[in-house]
Structure 1
Amino acid sequence: MSAQVHVPSLLTRAGTATVLTLAAVGGPMIAPGSVAEAQAQAVTHSAKALKIAASKRGSPYRYGGTGPHRFDCSGLTQYAFKKAGKRLPRTAQQQYNKTRHISSWHRQRGDLVFFHYGRFVYHVGIYAGKGRIWHSPKSGAVVRLEKIWTRSVWYGRVR
């Protein structure tokens, strides 16, 4: 009978040690199904989408282009997130409507950057950090990394 008492006690101590070890080395402690887990998955999808968009550097712009070789702005973001395992609608405005809106203070690499005039969203790119985006800008141009050129932007996180 004493063995039955000690086994759970040992498991409890092992579990505590594991948690303490993770805490000491800075390991993540994310409970399945938690908000933190959902945020971690969103960051993972966003990081993958950012890498995919960057891999399309030099691909020509084409109005209505959704890849894999030619893109318009929302076609590039839709393509990158689809390859990363997330579905986005087709247009920049629809993508803005579908994302969780965040402030510029909370933006992260892989978030979407929406350019707007008033309430009208006319362009989208993927935030690359340091005030830059990957995007497919206009006819005659190619997918490229570029500095954000205006303050008239909104940020959205793909859920």
Structure 2
Amino acid sequence: MRKYAIISVVFALMLSVGSLFSVKEADAAYSPTAVVSIAKKYIGVPYKYGGTTPSGFDCSGFIYYTHKRVGKILPRTVAQLYKKGKFVSKSSLRPGDLIFFTTYKKGPSHVALYIGKQQFIHSASKGVRIDRLSNPYWKKAYIAAKRY
């Protein structure tokens, strides 16, 4: 009888320890540095409305694809992305943070990946490219940044 009690205790401990590690394996592997590195590989890929592959990306499709490559599943659209994550100040930006802009309509309509040194990578009308936050157009269009 005592043998079964010990086995039950050991089994219960194994279950409780396992629950401590309930984080998805993919999320545990996520690295902002890896996302930035992967994103840079797609510089020059053309813009494609609704695009989510290296044959053509829209802004949120680019964010979705690059994060998925490192096992981090994010929402697919700018609006959905804007509802998630934690706001961070412009002065606290870190590589891997997402930056939101207002472009063709009021509110968030464009998203980019911050890569450091006041630069971001994104897919816009000229395709995947790196721009600076100090660019007058983007400086005026900036809304907020979020960390995931």
Do the aligned residues in 2 keep the contact of 1:110 with 1:127 (CA within 8 Å)? yes
Q: Which of 18, 27, 42 is matched with 1:56 structurally?
A: 42
Q: Which of 146, 150, 158 is matched with 2:131 structurally?
A: 146
Do the aligned residues in 1 keep the contact of 2:30 with 2:72 (CA within 8 Å)? no
Q: For 2:40 and 2:101, locate their aligned partners in 1 and report how far apart those are by CA, in whole Å.
A: 19
TM-score by length of structure 1 reads 0.66
Q: For 1:44 and 1:52, locate their aligned partners in 2 and report how far apart those are by CA, in whole Å.
A: 12
Q: Which of 62, 85, 88 is matched with 2:74 structurally?
A: 88
Q: Which of 77, 98, 104 is matched with 2:84 structurally?
A: 98
Deviation at 1:50, TM superposition (A): 1.1
Deviation at 1:129, TM superposition (A): 1.1
Q: For 1:96 and 1:42, locate their aligned partners in 2 and report how far apart those are by CA, in whole Å.
A: 22
Read off the aligned partner of 1:49 and give its amino acid letter.
V
Superposed CA RMSD in Å reads 2.2
Do the aligned residues in 2 keep the contact of 1:114 with 1:154 (CA within 8 Å)? yes
Q: Which residue of 2 aligns with 1:155?
A: 145
Which is richer in strand? 2
Structure of larger gyration radius: 1
Identity rate of aligned residues, in percent? 38
Count of equivalent residues: 117
Do the aligned residues in 2 keep the contact of 1:113 with 1:155 (CA within 8 Å)? yes
TM-score by length of structure 2 reads 0.71
Deviation at 1:137, TM superposition (A): 1.0
Task: Detail structure 1 runs of 4+ shifted over 3 Å in the superposition.
Answer: 41-44
Q: Which residue of 1 aligns with 2:13?
A: none
Do the aligned residues in 2 keep the contact of 1:49 with 1:110 (CA within 8 Å)? yes
Q: Which of 120, 125, 128 is matched with 2:112 structurally?
A: 125
Deviation at 1:69, TM superposition (A): 2.3
Do the aligned residues in 2 keep the contact of 1:113 with 1:127 (CA within 8 Å)? yes
Q: For 1:104 and 1:62, locate their aligned partners in 2 and report how far apart those are by CA, in whole Å.
A: 28
